[in-house]
Amino acid sequence: MDLDPYGYKPTLSICILFLCLFGISSRDHSLFSSSILSVFLYTAVLAGLVEILGWSGRLWSNQNLPNSTAFTMQITCTIMGPTPLLAANFIILAGIIRKIGDCYCRLSPRLYSIIFLSCDFIALAVQGGGGGIASAAKDTDTVNLGAHIMLAGIVFQLVVIICYMVLAIEFFWRYSRGTPVLSGSGVMSKLTGSTKVAVDEQDQLMIYHLQNLDVRESKAIYRTIELTDGFHGKIIKTQWLFNVFDGAMIVLAMYAFNVAHPGRLLVEDKETAMYTSTGSVSGVGNGGSAGTLQQLPGEKIQDLQTV
């Protein structure tokens, strides 16, 4: 039995603080179960519950530091906890694309969901497998094996986040400049009045979305360095690093969507739509046929060029 698995004693007040923060955020997310992105409930709340389990393990360690079960519980749950939250980001971007129009992105919303949610599930399975091996280990070598498997899952997840961020940034950039991927695609009509408010809310959601991804990437980088350094390395035995780059990063990510909740900002607006080549107002995606675009009252048709 390792009498000091952390290299420090988890601070009681910090553990209680994070338990309260994750509990409040999870409760608020659960209140939006009837939102248009109802599946967001299961991902965001699940992330919060797993984080609560992880910080409960750290609180347990404060009362019983040598307890190996508490240590394994906290490291496994705090590593796996953010994975459902990453899935929420994938779901949100698909919702934004459906709302604005997929002419600005290289993949359809369905493909975004299939590809990145599959990758997220793989990362979760690998991290969970590594955590299971580490928790059931009877010797140091097996514990290290479990840690290396978890590390592989985190590195894979980091690569997925980077690829996803590149595609998301390109989508937001094309939307802001009105430059679709393909010529002949429709363009979002930014009207005045109530419709403009809906567009501004989508812009706000995009900003929070990118900020959310940034903090998730920071947490993944920290965890990668931490586990590469090993269970007996200096990084894992420095408490403030964990509190800032693990706990605080996920708190910021969860509260970002408490403020800009997708169920509140991705609202249906019948006045905001895509111009199509038939003159109707509806959604059109990549590969939309070319034709004469119809003009809404007071609006100017934007000339689209092949990008």
Decide: residue 108, CB within 10 A, 0-12 exposed, 13-18 middle, 19+ buried: middle
Residue 204: pLDDT over 70: no
Question: In 3D, which of 297, 303, 282, 306 has the Cα closest to residue 102?
Answer: 282
Residue 91: pLDDT over 60: yes
**What angle (nearest 5°) sits at the alpha carbon of residue 30, between those of residues 27 and 34?**
155
* Beta partners for residue 275, in sequence order: 281
pLDDT of residue 246: 92
Encode pLDDT of 218-265 as tens digits: 888 888 888 887 777 888 899 999 999 999 999 988 888 788 776 666
pTM of the complete model: 0.74
> Distances in Å between the alpha carbon of 156 and those of 96, 160, 282, 300?
25, 6, 38, 45
Which of 118-122, 129-133, 157-161 bottoms out in mean pLDDT, i.e. has the lowest? 129-133
Q: Measured between alpha carbons, how far is 85 from 250 in angstroms, rounded to an integer? A: 9
Q: Measured between alpha carbons, how far is 303 from 179 in angstroms, rounded to an integer? A: 10
Report the Cα 58 to chain-centroid distance in Å. Answer: 24
| Reported confidence tier of residue 187, pLDDT bands at 50, 70, 90 | very low
> Helix, strand or coil for residue 81?
coil
> Distances in Å between the alpha carbon of 202 and those of 178, 235, 301?
15, 39, 21
> Of the spans 34-38, 39-43, 252-256, which averages the highest pLDDT?
252-256
193: Cβ contacts below 8 Å, ≥ 6 apart: none
pLDDT of residue 168: 85
Q: What is the DSSP string of 162-218?
A: HHHHHHHHHHHHHHHHT--SSTT---B---STHHHHHHHHHHHHHHHHHHHHHHHHH
Rounded to 5 degrees, φ, ψ at 160 are: -60, -45
Residue 69: pLDDT over 90: no
